[in-house]
Amino acid sequence: MQTTRFEHPLNEKVRIYLRLEYLLLQMNHASDSEDLWQHQIFFRALFDVLDILDQVQVKSELAKDLDKQQLQIKQWLNVEGVDQTAVLSLLDQIGSVHHHLISAPRLGQVLREDRFLAGIKQRFSLPGGSCCFDLPSLHHWVHLPLERKHADMAYWFDQLRPMAQALQLWLRVTRESGQYRPQTARNGFFQHDAENASLLRLQICPSYGVYPMISGHRSRFAVRFLPFDEGQTSAATPVAECIDFTLAIC
pLDDT in tens, 197-240: 999 999 999 999 999 999 987 789 999 999 998 655 545 566 76
Quick one: 193 exposed, middle or buried, by C-beta within 10 A (0-12, 13-18, 19+)? Answer: exposed
Q: How far is residue 194's CA from residue 104's CA, in Å, rounded to a whole number?
A: 35
Contact between 147 and 164 (Cβ < 8 Å): no
Instruction: Provide mean pLDDT across the span 120-144.
Output: 91
pLDDT in tens, 8-25: 999 999 999 999 999 999
Q: Which domains are seen in the chain, by residue range?
A: 11-175 (1.10.3900.10), 179-249 (2.60.440.10)
